[in-house]
């Protein structure tokens, strides 16, 4: 059996500001650094021999740093684990986009994948990018071993749905500093989900859930099975 633990980055400065990030970055907030430290303690205790991989963006590099220190080794950067590009929406406050791009934003809230219209990456393109790297990380993990990959909400959400063959919208949200475990029982074999959105390692007062600043329309769309998770991961 091979295990791949996907970890979403800690709360970023732009998460706290409700700003759309995509592949732009401003690093972690103070709460995000505390979340990363808590995640490192839990992961180092559970998987002291794990291989470490990370998205190359600042917020993931800052999240993996305390785990690197705890295990005494560096995480290999992999740009394929980056968040989805949000084109011209990146770096803008969600409220600003809602005010200035009203029709498109309302279509997004209704579950329509409009990101390609603003020069970003479609949900399908994101899944196409992430699925191969998740399979590769599982296949190259030694039998009985563990790989920890620090990434973003979009790759976790779209990637896990795709690699497990589950219909988009089946799983819920992806919290900051959450863990998601995938298992494989042989190279090229079926991939199963063992754990989704575990946050018990993060003290309650430090948690920042996926619903932070998300409208009821988005929550409804996800519950109904849309493939449009909350913006700004």
pLDDT digits (tens, 9 = 90+) for 162-208: 999 999 889 999 999 999 999 998 777 799 999 999 999 999 999 98
Beta bridge partners of 112: none
- Say if residues 109 and 87 touch (Cβ distance below 8 Å): no
Mapped onto helix, strand or coil, the DSSP state of residue 90 is: coil
Interaxial angle between packed helices 30-46 and 58-71, expressed in degrees from 0 to 180 and rounded to the nearest 10: 40
Dump pLDDT digits (tens) for 59-96. 999 999 999 999 999 999 999 999 999 999 999 999 99
Q: Which candidate in 11, 62, 83, 90 is catalytic? A: 83
Question: pLDDT category, 231, cuts 50, 70, 90?
Answer: very low
Close Cβ partners of 200 (under 8 Å, ≥ 6 residues apart): none
* 131 given a catalytic annotation: no
Mean per-residue pLDDT over the chain, rounded: 90
**How many C-alpha atoms does 63 have within 13 Å on its Cβ side?**
36
Dump pLDDT digits (tens) for 109-123. 998 999 999 999 999
Q: Tell me how crowded residue 127 is: count the other CB atoms within 10 A of its CB.
A: 22
* 83 given a catalytic annotation: yes
What structural domains does the chain harbor?
A: 2-223 (3.40.50.1240)
How far from the centroid of its chain's Cα atoms is residue 51's Cα? 18
Strands of the sheet containing 146-151, edge to edge, are 76-77, 51-54, 146-151, 2-8, 179-184, 191-198
């Amino acid at each position: 059996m091979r295990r791949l633990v996907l970890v979403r980055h800690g709360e970023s400065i732009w998460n706290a500001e409700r700003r759309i990030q995509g592949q732009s970055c401003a690093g972690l907030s103070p709460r995000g650094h505390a979340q990363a430290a808590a995640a490192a303690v839990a992961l180092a205790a559970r998987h002291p021999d794990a291989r470490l991989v990370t998205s190359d963006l600042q917020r993931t590099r800052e999240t993996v740093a305390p785990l690197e220190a705890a295990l005494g080794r560096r995480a290999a950067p992999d740009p394929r684990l980056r968040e989805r590009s949000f084109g011209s929406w990146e770096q803008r406050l969600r409220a600003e986009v809602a005010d200035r791009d009203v029709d498109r934003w309302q279509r997004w809230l209704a579950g329509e994948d409009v990101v390609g219209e603003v020069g970003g990456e479609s949900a399908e393109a994101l899944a196409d990018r992430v699925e191969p790297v998740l399979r590769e990380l599982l296949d190259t993990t030694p039998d009985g071993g563990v790989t920890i990959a620090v990434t973003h909400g979009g790759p976790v959400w779209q990637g896990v749905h795709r690699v497990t063959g589950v219909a988009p919208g089946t799983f819920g949200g992806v919290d900051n500093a959450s863990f998601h475990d995938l298992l494989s029982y042989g190279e090229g074999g079926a991939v199963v989900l063992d754990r989704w959105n575990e946050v018990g390692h993060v003290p309650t007062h430090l948690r920042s859930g996926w619903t932070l600043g998300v409208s009821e329309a988005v929550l409804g769309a996800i519950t109904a099975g849309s493939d449009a998770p909350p913006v700004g991961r």
